[in-house]
Amino acid sequence: MLHVSELQAGYNETMILRNVEFGIQKGKIVGLLGRNGVGKTTLVKVLMGLIPTVNGQVVFDGKSLKKEKPEHRARAGIAYVPQGREIFSDLTIKENLLIGMEALPKSQRSKTIPEEIFQWFPVLKEMIDRRGGDLSGGQQQQLAIARALISNPKLLLLDEPMEGIQPSIVQLIQDVLVKIAKEKEMSIILVEHNLDAVLSCADHYYILDRGCMVKNGNCENVNEDELYKHLAV
Ligand SMILES: Nc1ncnc2c1ncn2[C@@H]1O[C@H](COP(=O)(O)OP(=O)(O)OP(=O)(O)O)[C@@H](O)[C@H]1O
């Protein structure tokens, strides 16, 4: 459903992604791994249209995204949860969630939050009128993911969603991701530092190094020592 080939992109004159080959199938979870600063965030921003593609192809649902703006990509079914969550601290949980509706065409927007959102993240229902800024880090991350899910995307991009989150919430988020990938046939790209987190919920992994994908494979029966060689600092 998403296929990236010979991708080059970066910041002004500096090419960060040199020759990226990457892809994900419908309903699968892909873990995108790599050391600090290798270009993982840059890649998801390119997929969302926040950084232009200099060369290469990005094909989503059979159509080239190369010239599409972020809002068009959102309408096409791509949702993005950036590193650091970026929820609105002064707005309530409900108001933050309703902003997620903006990705939908006007005719499909509603003032009611779909009940399935609260089934996945019950704490958001309990605290619906609390300000985003008053939530714990784990609650804010659940809110950020829920806001992205409101538009029922086909492809969800998550940049380090487990960072700084307590283990019980990490487990909850992983369980929700596995569930929605399966039940809604949603494809999920998970940027992660942590190999264990990827192996416990992803179907497939990719390792990015110096702007190229150096390894990828199925998450079952991996040789972890070999993967750590690409991830150790
Ligand atoms: N706005 C920017 N302008 C110029 N260079 C940037 C910018 N943002 C990131 N970079 C550089 O691009 C490279 C890749 O950064 P990126 O954030 O994509 O890496 P990453 O793999 O996501 O790292 P981390 O795991 O630390 O989040 C780094 O060398 C970084 O310094």
**Position 135 in a domain:** no
**Position 17 in a domain:** yes
Band of residue 26 on the pLDDT scale cut at 50, 70, 90:
very high
Token pair for residue 44? 């998801």
Question: What pTM was computed for the model?
Answer: 0.95
Most informative mutation of 11, 18, 22, 213 for ligand 1 (most atoms within 8 A of CB): 11
The tens digit of pLDDT for each residue in 56-107 reads 999 999 999 988 999 999 999 999 999 987 899 999 999 999 999 988 888 8
Which residues lie below 8 Å from residue 134, measured CB to CB, with a gap of 6+?
Answer: none
Q: How many domains is the chain partitioned into structurally?
A: 1
Specify the pLDDT at position 198. Answer: 94
**Position 194 in a domain:** yes
**Position 140 in a domain:** no
Question: With a 6 A CB cut-off, is 82 part of the ligand 1 pocket?
Answer: no
Most informative mutation of 8, 14, 16, 33 for ligand 1 (most atoms within 8 A of CB): 16
Question: With a 6 A CB cut-off, is 39 part of the ligand 1 pocket?
Answer: yes
**What's the rounded Cα separation, in Å, for the pair 19 and 149?**
31
**Position 99 in a domain:** no
**Position 210 in a domain:** yes
Question: With a 6 A CB cut-off, is 107 part of the ligand 1 pocket?
Answer: no
Most informative mutation of 42, 45, 51, 192 for ligand 1 (most atoms within 8 A of CB): 42
Find the domain containing 224 and state its range: 2-88+154-231
Question: With a 6 A CB cut-off, is 204 part of the ligand 1 pocket?
Answer: no
Atom 16 of ligand 1, residue of closest alpha carbon: 39
Residue 233 has pLDDT above 80, yes or no: no
Give the domain CATH number at 82: 3.40.50.300
Specify the pLDDT at position 232. Answer: 84
C-alpha 108 to ligand 1 mean position (Å): 36
Question: With a 6 A CB cut-off, is 12 part of the ligand 1 pocket?
Answer: no
Residue 210 has pLDDT above 80, yes or no: yes
**Position 93 in a domain:** no
- Work out the mean pLDDT of the chain and round it to a whole number: 95
What percentage of residues in the chain have a pLDDT greater than 90? 86
CB 211, CB 52: distance < 8 Å: no
**Position 11 in a domain:** yes
The tens digit of pLDDT for each residue in 162-195 reads 998 999 999 999 999 999 999 999 999 999 988 9
